[in-house]
């Protein structure tokens, strides 16, 4: 069995794609078996080799201690028999699936696939991609036959970036495969690093669907809260106060309004919608939820404008600073960040906000969004501060620290926007600030 060969270090395991998802699973496996980490980004590989973790998911110390071999040489894949594919699966501008990364990875693996290998895909896809898209590519590139010369499985990633509590080993791993023998083999291998155990899905399509659905479920629930927040804003009711009251009941779900971006919740529902529409079904609930959540950046931008007008600011001349650009707190991941929608919404009114994010990578931000990040020390004479991402560094700041960034005017003319609702409303309003939270 391949499992025995791996734990005896007679065979190696490879992870293709060493980002926010691939790196943690690769490092975890490297404690148990020989691991080859492969990524086409040479800069990233150089950082790993230097002991630096740009993702902040495992930390520099673990990178320095790991026995994993980091490489951008695809031929090294030939030295492994168990392959985990963990490349991004984003969406295109028209909201349809962008499968080129997973197709490219399949071609790379196929060119270097050897007899007796197992390939497991972790990238989020709609049901059918593994068997209908990936396997044919593997067969074409390798000249081998799936089910005979090599086997394939699917195990959706469930890592929550930036979460130090619900870590990789504590999350049940869904596994699936083209046959039962391969399923058992894959399950045993993942159990080496997943303390919470594995769940054997009845088919690859079931496993693919489970990942898309679990994120669509969260998306819909957040969309409900966002819709309520927009209505409560018109009613003059604080949505956070409503949520606090509601959550006193035992069966409250605990969702809150917010910006929904990132590489999972803000993307996966579109994979479901795409496949459903191919089959002739026009999604109603999932698509409606996506539309609501995609509109929240614009809603926040409009709220900022209203507050600026209320404080008698000349909108085009207003100095606005946005604190945070990553898609969630305490992670450098800026993929599909909805904070950019706030930026673009303000741009529509002629405002060019400055953006501060001590966690994000400045080069990645500039390459992705064309924004040059500003440091906190450079903030001065502001009319409005937008707390967009609840980084620990921002949450630790008090009102006095925020106040030093404003222009020297009365508090009634200072606008403080709290997108994540992390500040106490009463003391801020008691000081006279014009305060708004989602």
Q: Write out pLDDT tens, residues 365-422.
A: 999 999 999 999 999 999 999 999 999 999 999 999 999 999 999 999 999 999 999 9
Residues 135 and 82 in one domain: yes
Residue 174 confidence class, pLDDT cut points 50, 70, 90? very high
Residue 384 is among the residues annotated as catalytic for this protein = no
> Are residues 234 and 304 in contact, defined by beta-carbon separation less than 8 angstroms?
no
Domain match, 347 and 412 both: yes
Whether the pLDDT of residue 162 is over 80: the answer is no
pLDDT in tens, 190-226: 999 999 999 999 999 999 999 999 999 999 999 999 9
Spatial separation of the C-alpha atoms in residues 88 and 40, rounded to whole Å: 13
**Residue range 326-350: mean pLDDT, rounded:** 94
What's the pLDDT at 310?
95
Q: Are 35 and 49 part of one and the same domain?
A: yes
Question: Which pLDDT belongs to residue 27?
Answer: 97
- In this structure, the answer to whether residues 86 and 65 fall within a common structural domain is yes
Task: Please tell me whether residues 49 and 117 are part of one structural domain.
Answer: yes
- Token pair, residue 182, equals 């391969």
pLDDT band, residue 265 (cuts 50/70/90): confident
CA atoms within 13 A on the CB side of 414: 22
Rounded Cα gap, residues 134 and 132, in angstroms: 6
For helices 204-235 and 285-294, the axis angle rounded to 10 degrees is: 50
CATH of the domain at 409: 3.40.50.720
Query: CB-based contacts of 238: which residues, under 8 Å, 6+ apart?
Result: 232, 425, 437
Tell which of 294, 327, 361 closes a domain: 294
pLDDT at 321 over 80: yes
Query: Are 208 and 325 found together in one domain?
Result: no
pLDDT single digits (tens) 129-157: 999 999 999 999 999 999 999 999 999 99
User: Using 50, 70 and 90 to split pLDDT, how confident is the model at 34?
Assistant: very high
CB 332 within 8 A of CB 56: yes
Give the pLDDT of residue 127.
95
Q: Give percent of the chain above pLDDT 70.
A: 100
Residue 109 has phi, psi (to 5 degrees) of -65, -45
- Model confidence over 295-309: pLDDT tens digits? 999 999 999 999 999
pLDDT above 90 as % of the chain: 91
Q: How many domains are contained in the chain?
A: 3
Q: Mind listing the pLDDT tens digit for each residue in 67-110?
A: 999 999 999 999 999 999 999 999 988 999 999 999 999 999 99
pLDDT band at 242 (very low <50, low <70, confident <90, very high): very high
What local confidence, expressed as pLDDT, does residue 101 receive?
95
- What average pLDDT does the chain have? 95
pLDDT band at 159 (very low <50, low <70, confident <90, very high): confident
Asked whether residue 264 carries a pLDDT value surpassing 90, the answer given is no
> How much is the pLDDT for 409?
94
- Per-residue CA distances from 345 to 223, 327, 379 (Å): 20, 17, 21
Q: Could you give the CA distance from residue 406 to residue 380 in angstroms, rounded to a whole number?
A: 6
Task: Tell me how far apart the alpha carbons of residues 184 and 417 are, in angstroms, rounded to a whole number.
Answer: 52
Mean pLDDT of 43-64: 94
Assign residue 262 the CATH number of its domain.
Answer: 1.10.1040.10
Final residue of a domain: which of 177, 201, 225? 201
Looking at the structure, do residues 80 and 22 belong to the same domain, yes or no? yes
Whether residues 303 and 276 fall in one domain: no
Rounded to an integer, what distance in angstroms lies between the CA atom of residue 236 and that of residue 419?
A: 16
Identify the domain boundary among 261, 294, 327.
294
Q: Do 191 and 336 belong together in one domain?
A: no
Whole-model pTM: value is 0.91
Residue 164: what pLDDT? 75
Tell me, yes or no, whether 244 and 382 share the same domain. Answer: no
- The residue range of the domain holding 284 is 204-294
Nearest to 2 by CA among 134, 245, 186: 186
Q: Are residues 211 and 279 in the same domain?
A: yes
What is the pLDDT at residue 160? 77
Closest CA to 267 of 109, 60, 71, 123: 123
Please tell me the distance from the alpha carbon of residue 380 to that of residue 407, in angstroms, as a whole number.
7
Residue 126 and residue 7 in one domain: yes
Catalytic residue, candidates 134, 146, 264, 384: 264
């Amino acid at each position: 069995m391949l499992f025995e060969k791996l734990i005896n270090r007679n065979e190696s395991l490879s992870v293709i794609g060493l980002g926010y998802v691939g790196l943690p699973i690769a490092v975890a496996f490297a404690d148990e078996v020989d691991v080859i980490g492969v990524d086409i980004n040479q800069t990233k590989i150089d950082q790993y080799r230097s002991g630096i973790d740009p993702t902040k998911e495992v930390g520099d110390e673990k990178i320095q201690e790991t026995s994993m071999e980091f490489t951008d040489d695809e031929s090294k894949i030939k030295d492994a028999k168990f392959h985990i594919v963990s490349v991004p699966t984003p969406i295109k501008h028209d909201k349809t699936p962008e499968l080129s990364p997973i197709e490219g990875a399949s071609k790379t693996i196929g060119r270097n696939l050897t007899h007796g290998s197992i390939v497991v895909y972790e990238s989020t896809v709609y049901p059918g991609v593994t068997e209908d898209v990936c396997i044919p590519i593997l067969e074409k590139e390798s000249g081998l036959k799936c089910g005979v010369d090599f086997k394939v499985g699917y195990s959706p990633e469930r890592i929550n970036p930036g979460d130090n509590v619900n870590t990789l080993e504590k999350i049940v791993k869904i596994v699936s495969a083209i046959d039962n023998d391969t399923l058992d083999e894959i399950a045993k291998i993942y159990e080496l690093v997943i303390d919470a155990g594995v769940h054997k899905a009845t088919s690859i399509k079931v496993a693919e669907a489970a990942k898309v659905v679990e994120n669509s479920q969260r998306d819909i629930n957040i969309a409900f809260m966002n819709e309520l927040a927009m209505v409560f804003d018109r009613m003059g009711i604080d949505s956070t106060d409503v949520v606090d009251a509601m959550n006193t009941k035992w069966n409250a779900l605990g969702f809150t309004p917010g910006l929904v971006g990132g590489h999972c919740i803000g993307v996966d529902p579109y994979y479901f919608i795409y496949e459903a529409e191919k089959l002739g079904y026009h999604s109603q609930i999932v698509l409606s939820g996506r539309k609501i959540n995609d509109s929240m950046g614009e809603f926040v931008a409009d709220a900022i404008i209203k507050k600026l007008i209320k404080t008698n600011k000349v909108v085009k001349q207003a100095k606005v600073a946005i604190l945070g650009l990553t898609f969630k707190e305490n992670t450098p991941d800026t993929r599909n960040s909805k904070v950019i929608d706030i930026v673009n919404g303000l741009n529509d009114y002629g405002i060019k906000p400055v953006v501060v994010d001590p966690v994000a990578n400045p080069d990645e931000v500039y390459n992705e969004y064309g924004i040059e990040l500003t440091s906190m020390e450079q903030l001065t004479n502001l009319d409005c501060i937008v707390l967009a991402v609840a980084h620990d560094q921002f949450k630790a700041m008090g009102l006095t620290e925020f106040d030093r960034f404003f222009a020297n005017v009365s508090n009634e003319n200072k606008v403080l926007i709290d997108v994540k609702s992390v500040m106490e409303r009463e003391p801020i309003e008691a000081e006279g600030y014009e305060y708004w939270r989602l």
